[in-house]
Structure 1
Amino acid sequence: MLTSLVRRLPPVARRDATIKELRRRLRRAELDAPPTERTRTEGTRTEGTRTEGTRTEQPATAMQSPSFLYKLREAGRIHGHLKRLGGPLPMWELNRKHRGYRFAVSHGVAIPPVIGAYARPADVPWDELPDAFVVKTFHGTASHGVMPVRRDGDRFRDLLSSRHLGVEDIQARLTRLVDKGSVSEELFIEELMTAPQGTGLEVVPDYKLYCFYGTIGMIMVAGRRSRAADGRAFRYFDADGADMGNARPGLALDQSLPAPRHLEALTSTGRLLSGAIRSPFVRVDLYERDEGVVFGEITPAPGGVQVLRPELDASFGELWEDAQARLEREAITAGARTTGYGPEPHDHLWRF
């Protein structure tokens, strides 16, 4: 009772609120700490108590070494501030597929053959489309707006789920996603590109390049056997085409997914586009077919589980910092980063 009354006093209440906020921030820092800095301690003593086999977070140590996961989360927070401040966000504008296509074409990179662009699903002349095509919204999250289909009688087979859909089913699915805010109403219809021979895939392999302002950290090939969350698997390669093993523990690894056949074209395209975007990190998504490399999309901030193996988290964090330093150096050299002197005379002081 007495404790409750004391805590109502303004100074003590403020102190308690401050302690609570500091504890909340500490817990947030612990959760943001990369896997490399999370350790298990046996029989350690903390604040006079003994803990047996408990997990101890070390956020202060974590902040002393590079971390890709930390930089990715930091970039997300900065993006939130930029949105609040208003103004253009050039890299994020490229996340809309039609703008990404324009960007790719401007650099001489091939894009998927587009049959038509439409303001809404009801405007698509479904009966006039070829036997195989891809429905792709201008904007979408987690591949929700991508639907490769093949005509089967008077219906279409979704190549990712093997379900048979009528036009009304396709339109209903897109409408649900639009209503949820997951995709845009505007959409493309593209030709279904043929996967390279010998891959056994119906859909072209999707290569996702982790790019750090012209430097390739990793090539991730994504394969999807179904639309279910557990129907997706991955394989990982470095910029030289060497298999990296399971780079993202906890996600399904599929060693049967194809290695890049056009490795030089793939990596040179990633370097070209990421260098032109002028951001410390961006993911450049590309497709591969027998004829060569085709642009997919620009992904400024990959979603999902982005926890890498500890040594990769540190290595990619260092690549991010190096790219950030190079961009900063270029800005300084170009005069975009200068010290603003005041108008008062000062040149006569201490000239050496």
Structure 2
Amino acid sequence: MNDKDSYEERVSQIKLQITDLYKVLSSLYLEINNDELVSDKDKESLLSKIDHFYSSREVTQRLVPYVSKRDLGASYQDSIINLIRFKKNIKKNGLPISPGGNNKGHDRKFAELLGVEVPQQYKFKEAFSGIEYIENTVLKPFSGSSSKNVFFMSKGEILEINNGSKYLSLSDLNAAKKMDKAFSSARWIQEDIVYNDGKPANDIKVYCFYGEIGLILEVDRASGPKPLYCYYNSDGQRVDVGRKRVPNFVGNGVPEIALKYAKKISLASPVPFLRIDFFKGDKASVLGEITPHPGWHAGERTDYWDFELGKLFDQAWARLYIDMVNGKKFADFFSVYCDMK
């Protein structure tokens, strides 16, 4: 047996094992639901545990009624992947909407149209050769995500915020990054660092489902060598989403204005989900960026949160569809992000 045949056999065996597993799980689901000796409270607890991780791909015919009754198969992770494929297909038909490599210049213009505060800007879509050291500014790529190649200029040095590396000058930074193709080809935005209590402001990242808040992440990048994380639910209560490999902190709370801005941006966008990022400054919350497809750290989340955010995703699709059927135009969005001519 050659290597290809060996791999194919292993793949087939695993597929059969997964199918058999879900057959057993399907039978257990129905057995629990139909057991008259189990109280309604205990049934809810037991079935919820299965709801939270049951794959929609494995829903059997007998379980189809529970897709409507209990949102069986709902998943944030699956919904993000489906949304990416959906956007690929509508782009093929001439309408690019909210691609993953978010254009920060467009984000800023969109925010300004909606009355959302933005930081003072010094350079826009500038080649690296045109960048100067300006104290208390941040340098970031015109297009990009995940805080890659984002730098603080402060106290006479340059700090790379996603890994804590420090550089004494722009020439040192350029030399260190000469093999980084994304860095070398980037165009740059330079704007004020937003401060809170004398240090760079914490990020407030709002997971927004067409006007409904699902989750909020506060990130402190200034208190130590590694970022610190605090998650909140939509009511502002701290929650554990299952990320065990990152340092957490108590958090400083979420400003209401950031949530108001996030809802406004979300409802003005013809997509079911956006993560909208702000800086929590002393005087105001200002836009950081708009992230269409944030990472969710597969394997570092609880089934509960993947399920709950998946339900919000489904509900957002429904509200968005109804608004579109009723004639909502999203004029501000299309005027900034899409050439409709």
Q: Residues 117, 334 of structure 1: CA spacing in aligned structure 2 closer, same or farther, 3 A cutoff?
A: closer
State yes or no: 1:248 paired with 2:242. Answer: yes
For 1:238, the equivalent position in structure 2 comes to 233
CA-to-aligned-CA distance 1:77-109 (integer Å, 9 cap, x gap): 3334445x2523232288110110000000011
State yes or no: 1:273 paired with 2:273. Answer: no
For 1:186, the equivalent position in structure 2 comes to 187
1:117 and 1:189 in contact (8 A); partners too: yes
Offset, 1:188: 1.4
SS of residue paired to 2:95: coil
Offset, 1:322: 0.5
TM-score (norm 2): 0.71
Matches within 5 A, 1:117-136: 117-124=124-131, 126=132, 129-136=133-140
For 1:107, the equivalent position in structure 2 comes to 114
SS of residue paired to 2:265: helix
Q: Distance in 2 between matches of 1:335 and 1:208?
A: 27
Q: Residues 296, 335 of structure 1: CA spacing in aligned structure 2 closer, same or farther, 3 A cutoff?
A: closer
Question: How many residues were matched structurally?
Answer: 284
SS of residue paired to 1:134: strand
Q: Residues 267, 82 of structure 1: CA spacing in aligned structure 2 closer, same or farther, 3 A cutoff?
A: same
State yes or no: 1:71 paired with 2:79. Answer: yes
For 1:222, the equivalent position in structure 2 comes to 219
For 1:340, the equivalent position in structure 2 comes to none
1:104 and 1:110 in contact (8 A); partners too: yes
TM-score (norm 1): 0.69
Query: Which amino acid in structure 1 is aligned with residue 81 of structure 2?
Result: R
Q: Distance in 1 between matches of 2:184 and 2:249?
A: 31
Which runs of no fewer than 5 residues in structure 1 stay unpaired? 5-12, 40-56, 337-352
Offset, 1:276: 0.6
2:54 and 2:73 in contact (8 A); partners too: no
Offset, 1:299: 0.6
Q: Distance in 1 between matches of 2:179 and 2:328?
A: 49
SS of residue paired to 2:310: helix
The correspondence for 1:316, drawn from 309, 317, 331, is 309
- Higher mean displacement: 64-73 or 99-108: 64-73
Query: Which amino acid in structure 2 is aligned with residue 192 of structure 1?
Result: I
Matches within 5 A, 1:18-57: none
SS of residue paired to 2:118: coil
Q: Percent identity?
A: 22
2:228 and 2:248 in contact (8 A); partners too: yes
The correspondence for 1:258, drawn from 240, 252, 270, is 252
The correspondence for 2:170, drawn from 143, 160, 167, is 167
2:100 and 2:292 in contact (8 A); partners too: no
For 1:95, the equivalent position in structure 2 comes to 102
State yes or no: 1:149 paired with 2:144. Answer: no
Q: Distance in 1 between matches of 2:117 and 2:263?
A: 15
Query: Which amino acid in structure 1 is aligned with residue 141 of structure 2?
Result: T
Q: Distance in 1 between matches of 2:153 and 2:232?
A: 29
SS of residue paired to 1:144: coil
Q: Distance in 1 between matches of 2:285 and 2:88?
A: 33
Offset, 1:28: 9.5
2:194 and 2:281 in contact (8 A); partners too: yes
For 1:46, the equivalent position in structure 2 comes to none
SS of residue paired to 2:199: coil
The correspondence for 1:289, drawn from 272, 281, 290, is 281
Higher helix share: 2
Q: Residues 22, 79 of structure 1: CA spacing in aligned structure 2 closer, same or farther, 3 A cutoff?
A: farther
- Higher mean displacement: 231-240 or 87-96: 87-96
2:201 and 2:281 in contact (8 A); partners too: yes
Q: Residues 175, 123 of structure 1: CA spacing in aligned structure 2 closer, same or farther, 3 A cutoff?
A: farther
1:204 and 1:288 in contact (8 A); partners too: yes
Offset, 1:118: 4.6
Q: Residues 27, 316 of structure 1: CA spacing in aligned structure 2 closer, same or farther, 3 A cutoff?
A: farther
Larger Rg: 1
SS of residue paired to 2:268: helix
Offset, 1:292: 1.2
SS of residue paired to 1:92: coil
The correspondence for 1:116, drawn from 119, 123, 129, is 123
CA RMSD of aligned residues (A): 3.8
Which runs of no fewer than 5 residues in structure 2 stay unpaired? 29-52, 61-66, 330-341
SS of residue paired to 1:269: helix
